Amino acid sequence: MFRLVSVWVLLGFVIFAIVGDRSRLPAAPEVSIPDGYKEVQLNGHKFKLPLGFDITLCASSDVVPRPISAAFDDQGRLYVSDSSGSNEKSDVQLQKKPHRILRLEDKNTDGKFESVTVFAENMMFPEGTMWLDGSLYVAAPPSIWKLTDKDGDGVAEDRVEWFQGKTLTGCANDLHGPYAGTDGFIYWCKGAFAKQEYKLSGSFPLSTFASHIFRSKPDGSGFEHVMTGGMDNPVDVTFTSSGERIFTTTFFQHPANGLRDGLIHAVYGGIYGKVHGVLSPHPWTSPEVMPVLSHLGAAAPCGLHAYESNAFGKDYKDNLFACSFNMRKITRHKLDYQGAGLASKDSDFLVSDQIDFHPTDVIEDADGSLLVIDTGGWYKLCCPTSQPGLVKPDVRGAIYRIRKTDAVTSADPNGIKVDFKTTTANKLVQMLSDERFVVRRKAADALALKGDAAIDEILKANVPENKIDARIASVWALCKLGTPSALLALKVSLNDPSQKVRLAALNALSLHRSNSHKNELYSLLKNSMPPEQRLAAEIAGRTKDKQAIPLILSVAEKTTDRVLSHALTYALYEIQDFDSVVEGLASKSPNVRKVCIHALEMGKPEKLKVEWLLEDLNSPDKSLRDSAWWIVSRHGEWGNALAPHLQTALDKTNENDPAIADLFNRLGSLHQAPLIANILADLVSKETTKLAIRKMALRTMASSGVKDAPESWVNSILIALSSKDKSMVLESLKALKSLRLSAAKFAMVAQSVGSLAGDGKNESDLRLLAFSLIPQGFKISDDDFEPLFLKNLSTDKAVSTRISTAETLAKAKLSPAQLVSLLKVLEKASPAELDRLLDVYAGVTDENIGKGLLAAIRKSPSIGSIRVETIKEKLKKLGPDVQKEVDQLQVDIRAQVSKQYEKLEAILPLISTGDIRKGQIVFQNAKAACIVCHAIGYLGGKVGPDLTKIGQIRSERDLLEAILFPSASFVRSYEPIKIATSSGKVFQGVIKSESPEDIVLITGPDQQMRILRADIEIMEPGAVSVMPAGLDQQFTPQELADLVAFLKASR
């Protein structure tokens, strides 16, 4: 997103709907004022903030209507990206460039910006602003632009395309930033899973779909990535005084139990975010992704700042302030080290009671006050916002200033009166101790420009008697200078009594790949605290220091710290001396063996031998055992060699052993090996095998994702189909359905499946499952049609049963009488199965049946969920009279939608008296089937977004609109996809997972489809949500009000 925008793609529900001045904005539910906080009424808000702080309005919507992000220049002028309010598609915005950059000035120094200049017009969607060396850098996907006012008139007449990302996806979250690192490099974020290719400095070319943090020098050299992620949208990056990188992001995990977004400490080389196919090609140092710094829920965190001044007090120094767009607040994060990584103590700092308060950026002014940018209620691109008729850009934003009430005001906080270019090095070094953080920063920059001649003076600041701020500033001055002499001068900082100074020096040496201080680095790696050990190992890796390998392995032996273990493993990978790593496997230490096998797997997997891992597979050390199995699972070619080992393990394990599930998972990961496949087949086919074990083997086959099931599996399932145990037969049929056999292999079981389907003595669930496996064109007897099929379409049946039954009927060749009988059921069908029932009538040639279908649709309470294009396609073989009726149906459906808007307004007043307990019943009942797709807490499905804390971030109107209009907007990571295959089939659903070989598509509750990429002809965004429309016709207004009340109470 603009320094955040596309991160606002959240949980499938609308965000804003009110028009007018700020005083009439809708309020969130009243929350009592916590101890230690106070309430301030300002600009139509009731703000809660800590005692001892005040908030004022420093730029109203009249000055800047829709601010997004902001940055100060050297003179204290504020540059603000300002949206036009456009929500057009990203490619349209790229063409029109409707946004702008404003320059604000506080000329009378009263803390308010009263002077406005349009610094740059005709901007693509701005997603970040940064001032550096006389120019404003703005991320406007697909590029970062460098804007310069060369003639001093306040307008940027010079525009240079500083960086080309070359991708622009629909949500425009391909690019965020840029951000000025304390080290002199420029950082920015890549998101959106679009493929980008780069040449890396001193490394292999990078071709990636994953998310990243990139960095380079201002001249573009030194380009590299420092973080790889499976999250959708890394947004803002900030830096502690020691140079640690923290960033905000959405979707660093699959939504569950109210968790989704938050903050991450970006350790060099780490793999972060949810497990996703885009991460597969990148180097993993563990089977698991790296840990999260702070969980914030579905907050859509965006703007982020590390506090530098002393104005708020020492306890706030290096604290983070993060914008939670969805939560209407700014959070405070107090950092401390926990092992080799950072931990955060979180608290609220500023909270508004207005639901259209959407903070998008937070920055620090030179006097130590914080500016909070509220963008207002205009945004809906790729965001589940209100309906188009209700979204108004009139709900404008503002910029607020937060001050400590007892803060001491410094004269000339920006150091404007100082001529840094002509000031002597000696004077500049004195300024490194200045209380004004901006002056310290400018002095460090000026010292770096003076070259090596300033080094001796800089070292004068780096003595223990001097302030820590001055010593840290001297480190960054030397880092920005970056010459061999400057890096040599960092030696004294490596021995500084302050950990912050030591870490800053280590980060500087790592950045420049400097091995100037081997003895000091080895000492820190061996004897220091975990954060120093991490960075010392990082330097060893980046400098390819082979001599450090024995020490790295020695440190590895003593640590179980996840972050430190990662750094040690990644160092071995980067050093690239894999013969020495192989020698390390002579160790019996589980920790040493783990880092060695991961380093080899990342860098030289062909050197690994399966026999080296056999003992590790049974290690009592869980971490090593998991790593060994994870690596083995990536080597299908080892399956035959592992088969005896696995067979022995199976023979020693009974069905009640907790380890049995892991054992079957490992069998499944190696299924390509013939001997492993045979083990599974034998388990299923032998009736002497215990029933629970046979079922586990069948489930392993079903979940294997195999492209073409081995004949041994099909033969074993054929044997299992004859079992006298019904549960075994059901499990066998489920396995067949998941395996999706070729025609030739299905022929091997076709007779048995057909017999099970046709045998009236079998129970209905078994028969229906068997029928669902039979290819298209089969007939259904009249004796079976009503009791077996029509009965299972009743709305009191489970939604998965209704959908499966409808899909089976769509494959059958029904008689005209059966088609007519089905119309009576279709009249009452819920939205969940209605679309699939329409497939039954595809290609019908009987005009009377076609007219009957249209009549049934008109009677259906789910008429609002039907797309007329679908009807036209099904009935395209019928004559003009029917086509006219279809056209009229479209008019009627539009009228129905209009009535939905009226119903929405009628239901809203009822919600205040909604019954939460009754709403829970609605959520869980079979008619709505909400719980089949959505989870609250630990219960529910995962087809749709997690709703555990939905009440915190959505208003009652938002929730109701999402129920009535599910296809109006889509949640990020839940966008529908339409896939057409070479065989002529069309599938619609939500992507569950994807790999270079295939895509797994969720098409409904408990239903998914694995599609080979080689079979895909067209893959494009879908227009229809997996969540069915028309639910308002299934319930009374009061039931809908109760359901919304229940969801609102989920906090």
| DSSP string covering 678-690 | HHHHHHHH-TTS-
Residues whose CB falls within 8 Å of the CB of residue 573, separated by 6 or more in sequence, listed in order: 269, 283, 285, 541, 598, 599, 602, 603
Mean pLDDT of 316-330: 95
Spatial separation of the C-alpha atoms in residues 480 and 474, rounded to whole Å? 10
Q: At what angle do helices 499-511 and 518-527 cross, to 10 degrees?
A: 130
- Is pLDDT of 3 > 50? no
Q: Are strands 270-272 and 224-229 parallel, antiparallel or unpaired?
A: parallel
Sorted by where each begins, the domain ranges of the chain are 5-404, 410-514, 517-634, 636-746, 921-1048
Spatial separation of the C-alpha atoms in residues 229 and 190, rounded to whole Å? 10
Could you report the per-residue pLDDT of 659-683, keeping only the tens digit for each? 788 888 888 888 888 999 999 999 9
Could you report the per-residue pLDDT of 28-37, keeping only the tens digit for each? 555 578 899 9
Spatial separation of the C-alpha atoms in residues 1040 and 1031, rounded to whole Å? 9
Q: Is residue 952 within 8 Å of 327, Cβ to Cβ?
A: yes
The whole-chain average pLDDT of the chain stands at 88
Give the pLDDT band of residue 793 (cuts 50, 70, 90): very high
User: In the beta sheet, which residues pair with residue 341?
Assistant: 338
Mean pLDDT of 876-895: 86
Whole-number pLDDT of residue 862: 75
Q: Which is nearest to 1008 in space by CA: 838, 810, 800?
A: 800
The 3-state DSSP class for residue 991 equals strand
For residue 371 the two structure tokens come to 């500016």
Whole-number pLDDT of residue 388: 41
- Is pLDDT of 20 > 50? no
Cβ neighbours around 887 below 10 Å, total: 11
| CATH number 2.120.10.30 given to 5-404 | yes
Give the Cα-Cα-Cα angle 466, 470, 473 (nearest 5 degrees).
150
Cβ neighbours around 706 below 10 Å, total: 18
For residue 519 the two structure tokens come to 């003895």
Cβ neighbours around 60 below 10 Å, total: 17
Q: Is residue 328 within 8 Å of 46, Cβ to Cβ?
A: no
Residues whose CB falls within 8 Å of the CB of residue 8, separated by 6 or more in sequence, listed in order: 1, 15, 300, 325, 326, 358, 379, 382, 383
Q: Which is nearest to 390 in space by CA: 89, 87, 92, 100?
A: 87
Spatial separation of the C-alpha atoms in residues 300 and 173, rounded to whole Å? 13
Q: Is residue 541 within 8 Å of 555, Cβ to Cβ?
A: no
The 3-state DSSP class for residue 340 equals coil
Cβ neighbours around 743 below 10 Å, total: 8
For residue 72 the two structure tokens come to 């100060």
Mean pLDDT of 79-86: 95
Mean pLDDT of 815-841: 90
Whole-number pLDDT of residue 1026: 62
Could you report the per-residue pLDDT of 44-56, keeping only the tens digit for each? 999 999 999 999 9
Residues whose CB falls within 8 Å of the CB of residue 465, separated by 6 or more in sequence, listed in order: none
Spatial separation of the C-alpha atoms in residues 641 and 3, rounded to whole Å? 51
Side-chain half-sphere of 1041: how many Cα atoms within 13 Å? 16
| DSSP string covering 495-544 | T-SSHHHHHHHHHHHHHTT--TTHHHHHHHHHHS-HHHHHHHHHHHHHTT
Q: Which residue, chain included where needed, has tokens 């040599």?
A: 488
Third-level CATH fold of 921-1048: SH3 type barrels. (2.30.30)
Q: Which residue, chain included where needed, has tokens 């391909």?
A: 174
Spatial separation of the C-alpha atoms in residues 560 and 623, rounded to whole Å? 9
Give the pLDDT band of residue 1039 (cuts 50, 70, 90): confident
Could you report the per-residue pLDDT of 119-175, keeping only the tens digit for each? 999 999 999 999 999 999 999 999 999 999 999 999 999 999 999 999 999 889 999
Q: Which range among 635-649, 856-870, 916-930 shows the weakest confidence by mean pLDDT?
A: 916-930
- Is pLDDT of 82 > 70? yes
Spatial separation of the C-alpha atoms in residues 103 and 154, rounded to whole Å? 8
For residue 712 the two structure tokens come to 């041994």
Whole-number pLDDT of residue 14: 30
Question: For residue 757, what are the CA distances in angstroms to 708, 751, 762?
Answer: 24, 10, 8
- Residues 228, 229, 235, 237, CA torsion sign: negative
Spatial separation of the C-alpha atoms in residues 427 and 424, rounded to whole Å? 5
Mean pLDDT of 891-916: 78
Spatial separation of the C-alpha atoms in residues 790 and 955, rounded to whole Å? 40
CA 869 to chain centre: 33
CB contact burial 516-533 (16+ within 10 A = b; e otherwise): bbeebbbbbbeebebbbb
Spatial strand order in the sheet of 67-72: 67-72, 78-82, 99-105, 115-123
**Cis peptide bond upstream of 178, omega within 30:** yes
Spatial separation of the C-alpha atoms in residues 404 and 317, rounded to whole Å? 13
Spatial separation of the C-alpha atoms in residues 889 and 875, rounded to whole Å? 13
Whole-number pLDDT of residue 390: 45
Give the pLDDT band of residue 331 (cuts 50, 70, 90): very high
pTM for the model: 0.83
Whole-number pLDDT of residue 975: 67
Mean pLDDT of 855-877: 83
Q: Are strands 196-198 and 233-239 parallel, antiparallel or unpaired?
A: unpaired
Per DSSP, 464 falls in state T
- Is pLDDT of 319 > 80? yes
Residues whose CB falls within 8 Å of the CB of residue 272, separated by 6 or more in sequence, listed in order: 227, 228, 229, 230, 231, 252, 264, 266, 289, 290, 292
Higher pLDDT, 395 or 848: 848
Mean pLDDT of 898-911: 77
Residues whose CB falls within 8 Å of the CB of residue 682, separated by 6 or more in sequence, listed in order: 689, 716
- Is pLDDT of 176 > 50? yes
Give the pLDDT band of residue 1002 (cuts 50, 70, 90): confident
Q: Which is nearest to 383 in space by CA: 975, 904, 898, 959?
A: 975
Q: Considering the domain 517-634 in this protein, what is its CATH number?
A: 1.25.10.10
Give the pLDDT band of residue 201 (cuts 50, 70, 90): low
Give the pLDDT band of residue 75 (cuts 50, 70, 90): very high
Residues whose CB falls within 8 Å of the CB of residue 829, separated by 6 or more in sequence, listed in order: 793, 795, 802, 806, 837, 860, 862
Mean pLDDT of 796-808: 87
Could you report the per-residue pLDDT of 506-554, keeping only the tens digit for each? 999 999 999 999 999 999 999 999 999 999 999 999 999 999 999 999 9
- Is pLDDT of 556 > 90? yes
- Amino acid identity at 139: A
Could you report the per-residue pLDDT of 747-769, keeping only the tens digit for each? 999 999 999 999 999 999 999 99
Per DSSP (E only), the strands in 108-230 are 115-123, 129-132, 135-140, 143-148, 158-164, 175-180, 186-190, 196-198, 206-208, 211-216, 224-229
Could you report the per-residue pLDDT of 247-301, keeping only the tens digit for each? 999 988 877 777 889 999 999 999 999 888 889 899 999 999 999 999 998 899 9
Spatial separation of the C-alpha atoms in residues 570 and 510, rounded to whole Å? 13
- Is pLDDT of 1005 > 70? no
Mean pLDDT of 961-968: 69
Spatial separation of the C-alpha atoms in residues 601 and 124, rounded to whole Å? 43
Give the pLDDT band of residue 7 (cuts 50, 70, 90): very low
Cβ neighbours around 917 below 10 Å, total: 10
Q: Which stretch of DSSP H or E encloses residue 988?
A: strand 986-994
- Do 5-404 and 921-1048 agree at the fold level? no
Q: Which CATH number fits domain 410-514: 2.60.120.260, 3.40.50.150, 1.10.3720.10, 1.25.10.10?
A: 1.25.10.10
Could you report the per-residue pLDDT of 352-387, keeping only the tens digit for each? 999 889 999 999 999 999 999 999 988 877 654 334
- Is pLDDT of 952 > 80? no
Spatial separation of the C-alpha atoms in residues 998 and 1002, rounded to whole Å? 13
For residue 669 the two structure tokens come to 């990961």
Q: Which residue, chain included where needed, has tokens 């044997």?
A: 719
Whole-number pLDDT of residue 789: 95
Per DSSP (E only), the strands in 217-309 are 224-229, 233-239, 245-250, 261-265, 270-272, 294-297, 301-306
Whole-number pLDDT of residue 918: 82
Could you report the per-residue pLDDT of 92-106, keeping only the tens digit for each? 999 999 999 999 999
Whole-number pLDDT of residue 328: 93
Whole-number pLDDT of residue 1: 34
Spatial separation of the C-alpha atoms in residues 290 and 10, rounded to whole Å? 23
For residue 872 the two structure tokens come to 């036209």
Side-chain half-sphere of 947: how many Cα atoms within 13 Å? 27
